[in-house]
Amino acid sequence: MEKSRGRKVMKDKEEAVDDDPWWWLVHKGIAASFMCIAMFALLVRVAVSLHPYSGAGNPPKYGDFEAQRHWMEITLNLPVKEWYRNSTTNDLSYWGLDYPPLTAYQSYIHGLFLRFFHPESVSLFTSRGHESYFGKLLMRWTVLSSDALMFFPAVFYFVIVYYAGRPHGQKTDIAWHIAIMLLNPCLMLIDHGHFQYNCISLGLTVGAVAAVLSNKELVACFLFSLALNHKQMSAYFAPAFFSHLFGKCIRRQNPLLEVSKLGLVVLGTFALVWWPYLHSMEAFLSVLSRLAPFERGIYEDYVANFWCTTSVLIKWKRMFTTQSLKLLSLGATFSTCLPSMVQQIRAPSNQGFLYGLLNSAFSFYMFSFQVHEKSILLPLLPASLLALEEPFLLKWITFYALFSMFPLLCRDKLILPYVALSALFILIYHVPSGRQDRRERLSFNSFVTTLLMLCSVVLHIVYITMKPPNRYPFLFEAVIMCLCFSQFVVLSFYSNAKQWALKRTIFMDKEKKLV
């Protein structure tokens, strides 16, 4: 009798394992599952890179692909000091470098790689608009390798750190989270379809986040400074990093020392990266002016942020000068990310930090100066890091981030990968699993969400098939933009509220401990 009961218990346990159809993927541990998912993610990226890129076969300006290639050409053939300066050999009006020096160094290294295998593709002047089979391939491979060498290890580091503190995490959930992070459709479309190197700066940011979570603040500062120096857009995360680290430091024994240590690391990293331009004020300023293209106006194209959406009603560009718009947007950005910063300074916590990243990225996307559609990748990153806590938020923001980039991707002829990757995301998100307690704790009224989904699907079809009326040639873009903007607003309110709600639960925990 005793024996049979024991066997029954064992059998129950076995069945609990059996019920998980993913046991084969996770039974060898996180590293093996990560390996497997990473291989698949790489395969998908290679497959995406078969498709066209921005400005393919479209002279005279081409697109981002040509810009990146041109930077390789410039950095490879000119001395460092000439990279950001207009000259007879470096025509800044033709895709002049407008990212910080780390991007330039990265272009230089990739340029070396290209020159080794295919010198014609990066030769000075003659290579403009170079689009040979092999040249294109090598360019694609530079993105792939950057992704595999920067973003993937960073995600692995994050997963290890993030789940080290929570032994109760289901292995299947971890695998799911890895897949969600590595198979983010927006990032793959922009990097491997449209052609950019967001994987590097985002990878550095993820690395910095992981370092923060594992209490290695100095490493975090170093990595985040590098991210900032690769793409200035990484500054979207700066308030969160600042407030969280500051909040942590002032709780230590010697706050001033702690803060200055971090400050020194940041300054040191910056000095290292900017070294070639620090010999004179003029050189420094000439680089700086390239990074802040205020003359391009407060918004471009149809980006689903505050300025562009409200410009349907309020003509910001006509009402204000660029100077006052600068101040206005600075003020708006700062004031909207203030609540989340205050929360982190008052009660820094790992979870709160991730929400803080999301909130500050959202407020920058909404209100900062010169935002591009592609910048939605930045709020998307912390959302994907939070995927297990906020699955619905992630789903919603991914859908609308994809949608907000749809006109751009249509121009790039990337509709097929857009569809395939969206389907892939939906499949992975809704992966069937034995358990029913799945995710979706938060969901809006299901009627509203269904209606919104339906609307966006119809809009997709309308956008592809129909011609807008002559009077409003950008009618559909504007409608898409408004829809996406409304969703982003809702989501950012939600995540701000969520971050503030966190504080209370933490205090409650503390009170419990005191009792």
Partner 1 sequence: MGLQGATSMQYLLWFFGIATCVKLLLIPSYHSTDFEVHRNWLALTHSLPLSQWYSDETSPWTLDYPPFFAYFERILSIFANLIDPQIVHPQKGLNYSSNTVVSFQRITVILSDLCMLYGVYRLTKDLDSKRRTLIWVLVIWSPMLVIVDHVHFQYNGFLLGFLFISLSYLEEGRDLMGGFFFAVLLCFKHLFAVAAPVYFVYLLRHYCCGGLVRGLRRLSAMGAVVTAVFAAAYAPFVYQGQIQQVLRRMFPFGRGLCHAYWAPNFWVFYIILDKLLTFFLRKFGFAIPTPEASFTGGLVGDSSPFSILPQITPLTTFMIVLLALSPCLIKAWREPQPGMVTRWVAYAYTCGFLFGWHVHEKASLHFVIPLATIAVQNMDSARHYYLLSIVSSYSLFPLLFEVREYPIKVLLLLLYSIIMWLVFSAQFTDGQEAKATSPINKEAGRLELKGNGNVAAKKGGFVIRGIEKSYLVGLLVVEIWGQLLHSIFFGERLPFVPLMLISIYCGLGIVYSWIWQLRWIIRSPES
**Residue numbers of the site for partner 1 (CB under 8 A)?**
14-15, 18-19, 21, 23-25, 27-28, 32, 35-36, 39-40, 42-44, 46-48, 50-51, 133-134, 137, 141, 144, 416-417, 419-421, 423-424, 427-428, 431-432, 434
Joined tokens for residue 469: 């009326």
**CA nearest to 370, candidates 302, 317, 300, 308:** 300
Q: How far is the CB of 417 from partner 1 (least distance, A)?
A: 6
> Are residues 404 and 478 in contact, defined by beta-carbon separation less than 8 angstroms?
no
Nearer to partner 1, 32 or 327 (CB): 32
> Are residues 290 and 98 in contact, defined by beta-carbon separation less than 8 angstroms?
yes
Q: How far is the CB of 10 from partner 1 (least distance, A)?
A: 10
Q: How far is the CB of 124 from partner 1 (least distance, A)?
A: 26
Q: How far apart are the first and last CA of the chain?
A: 45
Q: How far is the CB of 113 from partner 1 (least distance, A)?
A: 15
Distance in angstroms (rounded) separating the CA atoms of residues 144 and 46 = 7
Q: What are phi and psi of 299, to 5 degrees?
A: -145, 165
> Are residues 174 and 30 in contact, defined by beta-carbon separation less than 8 angstroms?
yes
Question: Three-state DSSP class for 269?
Answer: helix
Q: What are phi and psi of 467, to 5 degrees?
A: -95, 130
Q: How far is the CB of 439 from partner 1 (least distance, A)?
A: 16
Nearer to partner 1, 137 or 292 (CB): 137
Q: How far is the CB of 380 from partner 1 (least distance, A)?
A: 20
Q: How far is CA 400 from CA 163, 181, 397, in A?
A: 28, 17, 5
Nearer to partner 1, 328 or 415 (CB): 415
Query: Residue for token digits 């430091």?
Result: 249
Q: How far is the CB of 155 from partner 1 (least distance, A)?
A: 17
Nearer to partner 1, 341 or 421 (CB): 421
> Omega before 348 cis (within 30°)?
no
Distance in angstroms (rounded) separating the CA atoms of residues 515 and 507 = 12
Distance in angstroms (rounded) separating the CA atoms of residues 507 and 346 = 11
